[in-house]
Structure 1
Amino acid sequence: MKPVNLNKLRKAKAKGDAKAKADENAIRFGRSKAEKAADTAREARRLMRLEQHKRDG
């Protein structure tokens, strides 16, 4: 039987667990680049419209 480096096994398991959690969070909280860009453009239009309706004074 071949000796096993327990540190490597422990780190590999931790890395796998972290990857699984990251994938789960990406599904739960992630938004695509297009969605983020659309929100940014929408916010810019909203601010421009607000600025245009301000009264000079």
Structure 2
Amino acid sequence: MIEFIHTATLLHDDVVDNSDTRRGTATAHKNFGKSPPFLLVIFYIQEPFKLWLKLGI
């Protein structure tokens, strides 16, 4: 679940910094526009918290 949050921060950072590449590959917002990565950010942030609440963590 921590990896979801880490990936979300990377996606968000790439959009904010307007990065063209990450680790030698085109960033998500350069390939798909800004909306799909931001939708993934919301999903990747929300899912771990939903699971943690369900587990009582």
Is TM-score (shorter-chain normalized) higher than 0.5?
A: no
* Greater relative CO (CA pairs within 8 A, separation 6+): 2
Name the larger-Rg structure: 1
Query: Between Structure 1 and Structure 2, which shows a larger proportion of strand residues?
Result: 2
Task: Report the TM range for the smaller structure's normalisation.
Answer: 0.3 to 0.5
What TM-score results when the alignment is normalised by the length of structure 2?
Answer: 0.41
